[in-house]
A and B are shown apart, each in its own frame.
Chain A
Amino acid sequence: MFYREAGEFRTTYKEDSQTFPIRFDRWRYYFVLFVAICVIPFMVNDYWVNSIFLPFLIYAIAAIGLNILVGYCGQVSLGTGGFMAVGAYACYKLMTAFPDVSMFIHVILAGVITAGVGMLFGLPSLRIKGFYLAVATLAAQFFLVWLFNRVPWFYNYSASGQINAPERDTFGILITGPNTEAWATYVFCLIFTVVSAIIARNLTRGSVGRKWMAIRDMDIAAEIIGVNPLTAKLSAFAISSFFVGISGALFFSVYLGAVEVGEAFGINKSFLVLFMIIIGGLGSIFGSFAGAAFLVLLPVALKVVGVDWLGWPTDIVAHLQLVIVGALIIVFLIAEPHGIAQLWRVTKEKLRLWPFPH
């Protein structure tokens, strides 16, 4: 009934290969975009933005970035937290060094710097694979955190070793600092998330993405059919790190405003983003969003239900949350290794035939 192709005739290749070939799906996508851009900004308050939308949007970018590397190119990385830290510190240095430049440019440059660092740490991927690569990226994680803790230049010699986002604007609208409007920070992050998703989606559909997937599926075969592993792997590391760096920059400057590297960008962050793409779905842009939404909203929802409605002690709810997230990861790995994205695909297939499944 829904998602029907019947009656839709496509006469050009362009129409045939668009992201949402089914008209219903396309309208649904436009509708979500419309709500996100034209409705939500007028309704949100501080709580909604700071507790739900900002973390969701920012983690979605990080998940997209990691998904490119792990899901599309098959290079396991545990260095996400470290690369987010690079983005955050790059953004901080840029913000303090060039106060008059627009925040857009700072965030994008932070992404570019992280891409460079990511490529550097991606070099070992040319020689090592699988678990060994995971360990190499783990080293990047610890090294980067140590570096930002150790070298005072990165935190401008502040006594506390923290970095604090000063007030910066873009087009005269405050984006960072405590006096921002809720809608401004939301829209700022939304733009980055939407553009990142569109770029990532189109990259993965094109020749670059196909090379990544060839490397992922079998690197020797890929090499034989003419995929250069050097450029494919390094481009995956660079583009992945670019997105992760942007998310780190937004995480620090727009969302938290003050960051301590060991606590905000520790190994836990790497695992969190990895869980997002595992639960959401490896090799799927929608999966990145679904996973980010799931892991950002689940704790909030559990807290609202457990503490505010049922009146349970806060510690029980916090422990319960760990149990539930852990259980869900196991359940997903066993029952649906392709994550929420696969569930969504199956649902779509079902809806397509509904109500006459035969």
Chain B
Amino acid sequence: MKMKFATMAVAAVMAAGPVMADLVFPSLSYRTGPYAASGIPFADGYADYFTLLNERDGGIGGAKIRVPECETGYNTEKGVECYESTKGEGALVYQPLSTGITYQLIPKATADGIPIHSMGYGRTSAANGKVFRDVFNYPANYWDGASGAINYLLDENGDDIKGKKIALVYHNSAYGKEPIRTLEELQKTHGFELTLLPVDHPGQEQKSQWLQIRREKPDYVIMWGWGVMNQVAIQEAVNIRYPMENFIGVWWSGSEADVIPAGAAANGYKALTFHGVGKDYPIYDDIQKYVVDTGKAAGAGDQIGTVQYNRGMYAAMLAAEAAKTAQEIHGTPDIDAKMMRDGMEALEITEAKMAALGLPNFGPEFKVSCEEHGGPGLVGVTQWDAAAGTWNVISDYKPTDRELISRLVAEDSAAYAAENNIEPGCN
């Protein structure tokens, strides 16, 4: 009991700390545990972009940015703790980079009026802004990913994949189960055979799944993996000599950390993407100048330019642009979470904007509205070149089966609305 009161006193002092008028973008990161390999570069990119804005532009619209980091370890309990401990600081938007934590936070953040941006993850039906007023998942979601992967296979096979066997290797969690509905629907239209191979958390044990793949010889393997599961899966695929060019990961399963451990044999592995890859963007000169050279880079500073780093930077860029939009709408640099939500809902990303930021052609052009929190859902495909050590875009951003996805989104969000007594609407 003594211990308890001592720590309470400690925490009480902390809770009473001053609330500064900064723009607060909490980073619920994970630099430890089985998902660290994927979490570190994203967190670095997220932090570095805001550091760049602070150093180069003096923040957003004159207001300084603060990025308090909180370690979640991809664990929902710690995620809740992180959310509760940072929301009092005036958090503008949460990007937990975990589907599990996103599910956890959707009701909580909605009740607190703080927006969530689950970029390319989280609850897909949050794309329906009429039901999920405070949740955004632009510019692409899991169902776009599933449909994009199938579209790519259709392209490769002259629009006919009837009778082809496709295996889905997925993380046995809310995250990995997301694409199943869509794939099952697409299976009906396109007539391929779908095999489901769940991999349990944390994903280090996949022998039996790959044994099954070896036995059944599916024509294609699609993967919904994360963290250490990606590395193990690619290594196992190499071990059974599965043809790498028939192995496609979702965008969360396609970074350098996933393929490098398998060495040269991983050459040809493919992954989906919804943004540009590589370091070939003008913004990297600024990052070098203002962030790296001044010694302010987050983490070890060795992740710059990797796929997940780019994605973290992209997430930060979208958040910063939304904050700018919010400042314009409300005419004050000092925005709060409610204003931030308005900014996110009015966000418009154009090519000119991206070019001005030093990220020409980095992502799709899109415009968020109340009805559409999900963005355009354009999906490209990248391929790993083991010799050069780079990801190359081999298929440009293409639209997905939006008709099907909108129908599924409408169904799922209607169920959520009914469950939680939400009156869908834009006011």
Contact = CB atoms under 8 A, between A and B. Distances in A.
Interface in A262-317: 262-264, 266, 289-290, 293-294, 297-301, 303-305, 307-309, 313-315, 317
Contacts of A257: 104, 107-108
A170 interface: no
B123 interface: yes
A30 B397 CA distance: 67
The A interface, classified by DSSP as helix, strand, loop or mixed, is: helix
Contact of B174 (A50, A160, A299, A318): A160
A323 to B, nearest CB: 12
A264 B7 CA distance: 25
Interface stretch (B80-88, B271-279, B287-295): B80-88
B173 A161 contact: yes
A164 interface: yes
Contacts of A179: 111
Interface string B155-167: 0000000000000
Given A52-B11, A166-B420, A293-B3, A319 B85 contact: no
Contacts of B111: 178-179
A259 B77 CA distance: 10
Interface string B26-63: 00010111001000100000000000000000000000
Contact of B123 (A50, A160, A318): A160
B3 A263 contact: no
Given A162-B103, A263-B76, A47 B88 contact: yes
A177 interface: yes
Given A161-B174, A262-B173, A297 B4 contact: yes
Given A160-B174, A258-B103, A260-B174, A50 B3 contact: no
A293 B4 contact: yes
Interface residues of B, number: 55
Contacts of B73: 318
B1 A314 contact: no
Given A32-B1, A315-B71, A317-B71, A149 B172 contact: yes
Interface residues of A, number: 52
Given A149-B172, A159-B181, A160-B103, A314 B3 contact: no
Nearest to B83: A50
A159 B29 contact: no
A203 B249 CA distance: 55
B70 A263 contact: no
Interface of A: 32, 45-48, 50-52, 55-56, 149, 159-162, 164, 166-167, 177-179, 255-260, 262-264, 266, 289-290, 293-294, 297-301, 303-305, 307-309, 313-315, 317-319
Interface of B: 1, 3-4, 7-8, 10-11, 14-15, 17, 29, 31-33, 36, 40, 69-71, 73, 75-78, 80-81, 84-85, 87-88, 99-100, 103-104, 107-108, 110-112, 123, 172-174, 177-178, 180-181, 198, 200-201, 299, 412, 419-421
Closest 7 A-B residue pairs measured CB to CB? A315-B31, A178-B107, A178-B111, A160-B174, A314-B71, A301-B7, A318-B32
9 contacts: A52-B11, A177-B107, A257-B104, A257-B108, A262-B173, A264-B76, A264-B77, A301-B11, A305-B10
